[in-house]
Chains A and B, each alone.
Chain A
Amino acid sequence: MQTETYLEEFKNEGKKPFTLRDVAWIAFVILGSFYAWTQYGGLMDQYEIGILGGTTVGLILLGRLWPSLQTLTVSVSLMVMLALWTYNSHGNVITANEEAFFLKFLLSSQSAIMWMSALFVMATATYFLALYNKSDFTYKTANFMVWAAATFGLVGMMVRWRESYIINFNYGHIPVSSLYEVFILFVVLTSLMYLFYEQRYKTRALGGFVMLVISAAVGFLLWYTFGKDAHVIQPLVPALKSYWMKIHVPANFVGYGSFSIAAMVGVAYLLTERALKKNPESSFASRMPALEAMDDLMYKVISLGFAFFTIATVLGAAWAAEAWGGYWSWDPKETWALIVWLNYAAWLHMRMSKGWRGAPMAWWAFIGLLITTFAFLGVNMFLSGLHSYGEL
């Protein structure tokens, strides 16, 4: 009888109950994808339909793993629908973004991206304020701002996707094909990954540090918009017209985003450690997560980034094999991806096999970001090659 009790107990616990919310979520994602397919399926080749299917499954699983993503998805969908509906009711002309109220001030891709930029910068300041005044409310505000910014960023990207078709049907493409567009992808993905870790590991004191990278990227984005008119939607060069882009680029940016988070956690680690060395009772250190927790987070984020960067590099090679006839040409962008990959492979070896921890790894993670930044930006600025999108 006793035996049965605990066996019964085991049977029931641990299984996540399947709630109504889960059913609603799955239905929402499937219906949404189906709707997208009925609307735009005619423009997709078989691979792109495969990608849509994969995205559907992936989104369902991710949403189950991380329920906040469900709220985000629903908000983004509603806002995008509103934007598309407004364009539609204005005869699907691009100038509607100057006429229709919602588009002009909120939902046209340019407005949404401006909202995103403002919110990210404000979130950075608010996170640091929260670190200073230790107020729970301030932290919640900062956290909400990041969610809102990510929402606007995603809306901006989706609407931009549609706008590229509205401007000229021939120009239409997924907005991950110019330096401007991938910067938006970068800030959105990085912020979402950070939000995930913040929720899971209760590391909100790190928010300001991570948002610093994002704000820097936003600063670049704004300079690029106003200084260089980079936001203007351009048609694609033939080399970029491929379904590979839809998976290669996002995978890459999960990598870049992770490495950026790791670097900023590294900075936070080093500052905390220094504060503790000076004064073991340091009030700054008492507000920060434990050193071991940061060290561990750094490892987790780098592992995630490394895994995705590996995938991205392999996808890139597969694409190169199809577009240029060779999976590896020692082109600068390729080579720098290899450098980034080797660097983190060495980092992971040192940690996993040699058991290195703490300050040296934090420094290394930070230097890793410099290398990553060069691979991401520097190559486009200083070296020429086959990856000639978005020269400065």
Chain B
Amino acid sequence: MTESKTPTSANAVPKSMKKKQPNQILNFFGSMNLAVTLLMMLSIASVIGTVLKQDESTQNYMIQFGPFWAEVFNSLGLFHVYGAAWFILVLLFLLLSTSICVTRNTPSFLKDMKQYSEKLSRAALQHQPNNTTFEGTVSLERQQEHAVALLKHKGYKTKTHIRDDGSVTVAGLKGKWNRLGYFLTHISIIVICIGALLDSNLLLKYRELTGSLEAETRTVGLDEINKNSWLGPENLSFRGSVNVADGGKTDVLFLPYEDGYLAQKLPFTIVNKQFRIKYYDTGMPKSFESDLILTAPDLDEPIVATIAVNHPLHYKNYAIFQSSFADGGTTLKLKVHPLLSPISNPLELDSAINKVEPLKTPMGKFKVEFNDFKMHNIIPATDEEKALTGHKMHNNGPTIIFKVRNDQGKAWEYENYIMPSLQEDRLFFMTGVRESQAEPFRYLFIPADANRKKDRFFKFLTLLNNPIKFMDLFTTQFPRTPDVSEKTYQLQTKLIQQLLALFRSKGFNGITEFVKSNVPEADRKQVSDYYFGQTSFALQTLYLEVLKEEGVIKTHSDEISEFDKTWFEDALNTVAGLSAYGPPMYFEVASFKQIQATGLQITKSPGKNVVFFGSAMLITGVFFLFYVRQRRVWIHIKPNAHTDLESDSTTSSSEITIAAKDNRDLPETTTEFNGLVNRVKKFNNNNNHA
């Protein structure tokens, strides 16, 4: 740097007098305008990153923006802003800009911190932002002595310069740490960026580009994971997660990467003894904790620790966090009710969450995937309930979530509540179904019987599914009377059988539709009234038979209770809804044993301490910048030529020039300057009178 003598630091030199620096490009990259532009670009990118949901599936974006815009946004990297090339580029430019700014300013600022500029000429002093000149009446030595003492008292460090012409400058400097503030803030930005870089996945990206790494996108067992998706101890930094079932262990971690994940081998094994959730009385979770045992080849004793949210376990340069929880393979004893079967023959099935079971049925082959089990389903309580119990939340109890897939691959997802829950004062077993993740569940409400079970419902349903048994029942209950001909009676029973079949497959809507398409307009009302009457009558008969079998009533003409009446209406609604329930099976959970899994997040973050070191620098720097003011004062004393000849040196006259400069002009600068000037004037006046 030959031009290091360029007077950027000379405080007296106005900016306009700066010599042009030859390197235009460097100048541009280190310029304030570029820096502020980059800061603004970073802000705007961040706004986009928060407003547009990041890292969702391509499908979701297609739905949201349509194929055209989804493609445009995607190619601009807007769905992964923080990893987009242009975003990284902005960061790099910011780094470059700050680095250039720091290196450019370093020599001059260092000089500025040390130098007192005591040699500035009087003319230069009179160009300073604050300056004044007045007549002094005290001898040079005493004037100088006082000036030094005054400035020291005000917290300045001083340096005195005596010129050949006998004039003296006392230069004061204070607050030089302010300049350090500038360094600390800017260097901290560089340090923080380096720390962040250490923790970034840049190396992984590089390995991906060179073809030695590839994300695994399938959900498969450990031994089936793509070989190119494994990472070993050579990976410097990572942040991933893994679920470990109660009693299970792991030495593998999954790192989310692009559209899939990478598997990271850990140099230690973690056993999850137990995961616990504690609840407040409101039903809100109070704490998540896991009892862990960490073993490693180089550990004599395993580490036993309980981690919780906000209380991680640190081991070497790894940290293990409680971050979530999941099902760890809850075992299920199920009864699969075939919904079309004319006899009661539920299939017993022993399975567990995360298992897939093949099912062979008369309707075809299916696969059931048990996805999740939830012990609690907390929902806001209704107003009445709030008034009654005082609780804001209501627990609907455990659910299982599973998918039934047919051999063409079409899947229905179900959410079955294991216990009945209260809806409008009645107990129902809720079961939700949907055909795509994007839809909400549609619920079917199976009314609970007096024993809070589903037995009555399935009894009623099997009877409805069984025309032979039903016709038997009907003909014994209502034998042909002599006034009806055999043929009419046959037609009548046949009609009832057909109506029931129609109802079973499509509900009352089915009958309405049938009438609409088969009966001329004029007769429709009459016919449908008749059909509805007949159907209701038949269903009632059926129901009464169920009640009789249960022993609730003795004969079909007995009075039935309000509960049983309402139950019947609810059951009819449910049967009507079965047509939209997907494959005709209902999965009843007879019993379960919950096994939880803790969701651990494990990190190795070599950049963390670098980032925090940079942050500490940043904070210190910011305080130096704002709360240390760098100030300079000059007191220049020029003895008047003629007074030197006089004999009494104590009352000699001189010309005093006081000047001051702050590196930022604030109102207090002038106030302080005036205070200082007054002190010097007072000293002169006092001694004049003395």
Residues of A within 8 A of B (CB): 2-3, 6-7, 10, 14, 168, 170-171, 234-235, 237-239, 241-242, 244, 292-293, 296, 299, 303-304, 306-307, 310-311, 314, 317-318, 321-328, 330, 332, 335-336, 338-339, 342-343, 345-346, 349-350, 352-354, 379, 383
Contacts and interface: CB of A to CB of B under 8 A. Distances in A.
B532 interface: no
Which 5 residue pairs are nearest across A and B when measured between Cβ atoms?
A325-B321, A303-B626, A238-B309, A314-B615, A10-B153
20 contacts: A3-B146, A6-B146, A10-B150, A10-B153, A168-B280, A171-B280, A234-B282, A234-B284, A238-B286, A306-B626, A307-B622, A307-B627, A321-B608, A325-B321, A325-B602, A330-B82, A339-B46, A342-B40, A342-B42, A349-B35
A310 B618 contact: yes
B666 A345 contact: no
Contacts of B82: 330
Interface stretch (B47-55, B445-453, B577-585): B47-55
Contact of A311 (B319, B603, B619, B687): B619
Contacts of B618: 310, 314
Given A170-B286, A306-B622, A327-B608, A239 B43 contact: no
B514 to A, nearest CB: 48
A14 B287 contact: no
Interface in B80-123: 82
Contact of B287 (A168, A238, A327): A238
A345 B37 CA distance: 12
B574 interface: no
B221 interface: no
Nearest to B155: A14
A239 B309 contact: yes
Contact of A6 (B32, B40, B47, B149): B149
Contacts of B309: 238-239, 241, 323
Nearest to A1: B690
A237 B619 CA distance: 30
Contacts of B42: 338, 342
B308 interface: yes
A190 to B, nearest CB: 19
Contacts, number: 135
Contact of A10 (B40, B49, B149, B626): B149
Interface string B300-319: 00000000111010000001
A307 B49 CA distance: 26
A349 to B, nearest CB: 6
B124 interface: no
B619 A310 contact: yes
Given A10-B153, A336-B50, A346 B36 contact: yes
A326 B146 contact: no
A87 B71 CA distance: 63
Contact of A342 (B43, B288, B667, B690): B43
A4 to B, nearest CB: 11
Nearest to B621: A310
Contact of B32 (A2, A314, A343, A353): A353
Contacts of A306: 622, 626
B196 interface: yes
A304 B666 CA distance: 15
Contacts of B683: 6
Given A235-B280, A238-B310, A332 B50 contact: yes
A307 B46 contact: no
A152 B664 CA distance: 39
Contact of A317 (B32, B321, B603, B615): B615
Contacts of B32: 349-350, 353-354
Contact of B312 (A6, A322, A338): A322
Residue picked from B39, B312, B612, most chain A C-beta under 10 Å: B39
Given A170-B286, A314-B615, A383 B51 contact: yes
B269 interface: no
A368 to B, nearest CB: 11
A311 B280 CA distance: 33
A168 B281 contact: yes
B285 interface: yes
Given A170-B286, A238-B310, A292 B667 contact: yes
Interface string B595-624: 000000111010010011001101100110
Contacts of A327: 605, 608, 611-612
A352 B145 CA distance: 36
Task: Give the dominant DSSP class at A's interface.
Answer: helix
Contacts of B179: none
Interface of B: 32, 35-36, 39-40, 42-43, 46-47, 49-51, 54, 82, 142, 145-146, 149-150, 153, 196, 239, 280-282, 284-288, 308-310, 312, 319, 321, 323, 601-603, 605, 608, 611-612, 615-616, 618-619, 622-623, 626-627, 664, 666-667, 683, 687, 690
A342 B37 CA distance: 11
Given A2-B142, A6-B146, A346-B39, A296 B281 contact: no
Residue picked from A244, A327, A345, most chain B C-beta under 10 Å: A327
Nearest to B48: A335
A235 B667 CA distance: 49
A325 B323 contact: yes
A306 to B, nearest CB: 7
A322 B310 contact: yes
B408 to A, nearest CB: 36
Given A10-B153, A238-B287, A349-B32, A307 B323 contact: no
Given A317-B615, A338-B46, A325 B310 contact: no
Contact of A339 (B47, B281, B312): B47
Residue picked from A171, A326, A350, most chain B C-beta under 10 Å: A326
A383 B50 contact: yes
Contacts of B619: 307, 310-311, 314
A327 B192 CA distance: 12
A240 B363 CA distance: 52
Contacts of B308: 238
Contacts of A7: 149
Nearest to B615: A314
A325 B312 contact: yes
Nearest to B611: A327
B434 to A, nearest CB: 22
Contacts of B626: 303-304, 306-307
Given A6-B683, A238-B286, A330-B82, A349 B50 contact: no
Residue picked from A325, A342, A345, most chain B C-beta under 10 Å: A325
Contacts of B627: 307
Given A339-B46, A354-B32, A2 B687 contact: yes
B254 to A, nearest CB: 14
A292 B665 CA distance: 11
A336 B47 CA distance: 7
A383 to B, nearest CB: 6
A302 to B, nearest CB: 10
Given A7-B149, A323-B321, 7 more contacts: A168-B280, A235-B282, A238-B310, A304-B626, A306-B622, A338-B43, A342-B39
Nearest to A318: B612
Contacts of A311: 619
A185 to B, nearest CB: 21
A23 B438 CA distance: 68
A292 B51 CA distance: 38
Contacts of A330: 49, 54, 82
Nearest to B310: A242
Contacts of B603: 325-326
B268 to A, nearest CB: 16
Contact of A325 (B47, B239, B285, B286): B239
A387 B622 CA distance: 27
A365 to B, nearest CB: 16
Contacts of A383: 50-51
Contact of A335 (B46, B284, B319, B611): B46
A58 to B, nearest CB: 15
